[in-house]
Amino acid sequence: MIESLNQQFCIDKSISIVAGNNNLPKIILSHQSGSTAEVYLHGGHVTGWSVPGVGDVLFLSRESLFVQGKPIRGGIPICFPQFGGRGSLPAHGFARTSEWSLIHSELSDNGIVSVELQLNDTPETLAIWQHSFILKLRVLLDSRALSIELEVMNKDKQSFDFQVALHTYFSVKDIKKTAVIGLQGVTYMDALQDLAESVEFAPEIRFGRETDRVYVNTPDKLKVDDGGNARVITIEKYNVPDVVVWNPWVEKSQRMADFGNDEYLRMVCVETGRIADPVVLGHNERWEGRTVYTC
């Protein structure tokens, strides 16, 4: 499988497919500047993004599983067609535990390296979500930016609604020296308080306990200040209104089998999605959203 994928999609010095963890097919993107990214077909899951002089930007748990039917813990899980437990599907939906197809690879004239993956409905998805769809993921790697584009198409005759999010795990040196900036004045639903609504008063969100909040209708630019590493990651989003801020802290970390007990100290999730107000698509209609991470 890997050999045939390379025959179709390999681009010398830019894109190759290798056997990743547990021999799962992994796409490696390499930019001429030295930045790299990696994407598993399993889950359409970006598991790594590294920039010279900055280091690894995404967190990946040392305990993560790489097995069929289970999500990878870390990187950029794709939540679709449901976010969290907001419905009858498995948590965060089935996209992150499905096997995606690689459909396109490209080295653009300006040096941007990109791949496109696709997930269609399958007998397994139709058994739990009776809608025909096409979900496309585009990953674009530049010298200091990683862009993630999602496109949903309704191939059904009836309308359907969905939630979608990039559940992005950022690597930080020390959560106690980390801040999320740009959400002051925004209303959030606190998942630890039965989704009770509050308004964010802090110009910088800092962490000292389990934090699990869905910020609704947020500004399209925010920052993750990884003070311990003296680096700031900028997040810019398009057609993606909501942001989730999550750190499991001590007790929840201990309850997560695929997450080290101490790993909460070195990660923060800042997730971009459409959660509070699900997208409704009619027959043949499509939705697109994009998030650009820059360091």
Instruction: Look at the alpha carbons of 215, 175, 46, 109 in this order and tell me if their dihedral is positive or negative.
Output: positive
d(CA 260, CA 255): 10
167 is catalytic: yes
Q: Which is nearer to ligand TA6, 72 or 113 (CB)?
A: 72
**Cα 59 from Cα 57, distance rounded (Å):** 7
Name residue 27's beta-bridge partners. Answer: 17, 39
Contact with ligand TA6 (CB under 6 A): which of 136, 167, 274, 290?
167
- CA angle 289/293/295 to nearest 5° reads 170
Say how many C-beta atoms besides its own lie within 10 A of residue 143's C-beta.
14
User: Is 63 noted as a catalytic residue in this protein?
Assistant: no
Count of residues touching ligand TA6 (by CB under 6 A)? 11
Single residue of 2, 11, 18, 91 touching ligand TA6 by CB under 6 A = 91
- Does the protein bind ligand TA6 through residue 134 (CB under 6 A)? no
CB atoms within 10 A of CB 263: 20
Of 65, 191, 216, 232, the residue at the interface with ligand TA6 (CB under 6 A) is 191
Residues 6+ apart with CB under 8 A from 279: 152, 161, 162, 163, 164, 287
List the one residue from 222, 244, 265, 276 that touches ligand TA6 (CB under 6 A): 244
Q: 38, 131, 167, 236: which is the annotated catalytic residue? A: 167
Among 2, 84, 216, 260, binds ligand TA6 (CB under 6 A): 84
38, 116, 200, 271: the catalytic one is 271
> Any contact of residue 42 with ligand TA6 (CB under 6 A)?
no
| Residues belonging to the active site | 167, 271
Residues binding ligand TA6 (CB under 6 A): 71, 84, 91-92, 167, 191, 212, 244, 246, 269, 271
